[in-house]
Structure formats: C-alpha cells, structure tokens
Structure 1
C-alpha cells in the first residue's frame, strides 16, 4: 500500500529475492504503481520513485527491475535518472488505453470494422456472459490459464503473482468475466480495478471461444460493466510488433489508443 500525507494513494507489487543475507538481491516492480482516485500526478510518481530508490538503492549485488506505469516523456525519464534508474534494452513499452468516459454509441463507433464485425458475430452466437467480483471463478481460471500457458508457451504473469493480486484486490476490485456455451466456459478475462482505472491482466479462449469471437464479446461487456463502476480508463495491456503482433491487432481494434510507457529500468 502506498500512503501520501497519511492517505491511501495506491498499490504496488514489489517482488524480492535474496541470498546470503541479501548480499545477492533482486527487486522487481512490473507495471506499477497503480494509483487510486485523486493520485498519480507527476509529483506523486516522483515521490514514489525517490522512496523506491531510498529503500532499494543501486549497489553491487542488487538487480533492480522497474517498469513504471506512467506515460513516457522527458520529464518522466529525468525523474528516473535522478533516482539512479537507467533504461535496460530498447526504450519504451507500448500499451492500449480505452477512454470509458465516452458514451456507449461513441465507444462502438471507435471499434475498427473487423472488431465490430467480430463483436456482432459474438452477439449473435449462443454465448452467456457472467461476471464475478468475489473470486469464485479465480481457482478455475488460474488452473485453466496455467495449462494453456504451458501448452502454448506464451509469456504472462505467474500464477503465484495472480494469487497475490487476488488477495489484494478481492473482493470487488478484481473482475473475472466468463463466456459460456451450453454452460461450458469457452473464454475468460481477468481485470483489476484501481481508483478510476482498470487493467486487463490475463485472458483465455478455447477453440470454440475463438470461433465465436468470445473475447470480443467479453471485452465489450467489460467496457459496459466498468463504466457502470465509474471506471474512466481501461488499460488493455502491453503490445508489440514482434512476438505478439496478433494481440496488438486485436487490442488496437477495440477502439483504444496506443500509449508509450518508459519501459524497463534498472
């Protein structure tokens, strides 16, 4: 939990691993922090980065991995540099953000033609959509996701991390949507809510789910559910033109805009 002036300001997941009394030490912050309503300004990011550097200063034997959840610009890079965080590898990390303050008809009009057609196909299919914010579907989803990830060898958050997020965000701030045909799940997504924002974490589709465009239906329904919860911005997650070009095309088609984050720093 992040506190600023005695108020709960946001959440951050910090993973640590140490050996020989932390002589060899690793610190990981991926896509953080997640700010609550009223927080998340440049000044707040500056304060967080300074505190992160104070608690885990650069030193021999320590590996730091920090992917900040903030738009990339010269001011952001300067804050990172002043706190001894330096870019690792290629600069920048791209994600897709959807503005949920728009009316539903406007949101629909921002979908690319192919995505609109897929959504219409999904809406005509015999799909039932159900939402869970108490974590009832979490064990099922993590088992299904783990098997799918192993079978297809794709990158994604670990089950242990998702379980930890469940302990932090449940109830009410973790949403799991399922698409079913004849009571059989064919697709699912997991979303975290934080302040006025939400972030897509993982998703899964069976062959039948892909055939019926279940993921398009789940994301569209998620737009409506999140709007009703007062969420203003929906981060659909990272994209790239290399290993996950199809994922980028899918997410870009859902009407969001491309945002560049600073990328990996250490």
Structure 2
C-alpha cells in the first residue's frame, strides 16, 4: 500500500480484493434492508438486522461509535426530508415514506460503504423520479471515471445528469470520499463542479461516490442530535452511494452484489471486476 498525490491511499490488487469482501457484505446487507423496509417496521429494527448480518458474516459495523459524538448505530436511516446521518430508533415507517439507508462494514481492516433510498409501500410519482435521478447520477458519475482522468470528472457527470433531468437540489456540503483502510480518506468527491480537476484517477484508488439530491433547495440543517442532516425547506431527499475502483478494463463496483456488471452494461461501459 502506498500514498501519493496529496495523501491518497493506493491499494495493491490483493488489498482491493479484500475490500471487495467488505463491499459485498455491505451490498448484501443493503438488499436485506431493502426488503425489510416496509410499513410498520421501525428504523431501529432495520439497524438490528444490519448489525446482525454484518457480524454474522465476520464483519464489524463501520459506523457504530464513529466520530464525536459517537454514532450510536450500525446504519444511518434518514427518512423523508432527512438527507444523511439519520439515527435509527423508534420511528415507524409508514406508507409513502422514503428511507435512505447508509451502511458500512469492516472486514479484516478494510472498509466498504454504500447507501440506497427505498420507497416504503407506494410512494408518489415525484418521489419515484427523485430516487431514479439520484441513483442514475451515481452510476453516471462512476462511468465517467477513467484511469488518468481526474476526480471531478465524476463530480461533473453527477451534476450534469441531475441537471438534465429537471429541477432538483444537489447537496454541496456533504461529499463522497476516498476509502480503504479507513472509512473516510482523501480525496473528497463533490457532486458538482467542473471536470478535469483534483487528484488523478489511478489503479488502486478506491472512492465512495454518493450523490444526495432533493426535490427542493440544496440548503441543509444539522439537527439537535448533532448527526441528522435535513433539508431546510422540508423537501424529500434521496441518497445513493457505492464504493468503486478502476482497473485497466473499467470500473469495479465493490459494494454492488454483481460488481456493477449489469448497470455498467446498460450504460455501455466495460466491466472491470474479477
């Protein structure tokens, strides 16, 4: 493992393979939670399911005890106007809610980090569109990454896709990040900006890309629990995230159960996984 270009952690192939183990556990945990996010289920129950699945498969929840004040749970569960870092608890999900579930796991010292937004029962067409645009922006961002390119090529692709789809707010105060032996590492990966800036994309660099998009304003507030971030105007927000890396063949989405093969194929991008 080496560090270059302003402190970036560059992994060997063997270390990327270890990250895939952690990433796959995160991806499988999120699929479990996607199915469980139904009317009548509490966000605390989703957290219990996540922690059990991670620990039962040899992992450690990345989020539990993280930072200050220590995050008290194994997932973030952000409902409706909550953008990110929602604390799971007694809140019961009801028909028409959306819940953004962010999940991280450590396996043998290596991290995976991903997020999905799930509609609870039937949601409005406007909210379905928000989720579609946000998830597509994530994939367009990863597909814009090329060896020798720059980090903001991803940022620009995320922004351009969102802007092309209608009037949405793109959260600017929270970004994607490098990931590997720690959950949050250089570089930051914004969800907006000009292409061609920032560190060079090289083999062995792993990034977590995570667009956060709202139906209204991009402005956000940190709530009194010192973790939950919500929209100022009360508009619904969606959040999707994957951890990915680049190989000579193309992107490898370490937190997608299939490595990203199917979505990359839909977008005409070669699959770079093993």
Q: Which has the higher helix share?
A: 1
Q: Which has the higher strand share?
A: 1
TM-score (norm 2): 0.24
Tell which has more relative contact order, 1 or 2 (C-alpha 8 A, sep 6+): 1
Max Rg structure: 1
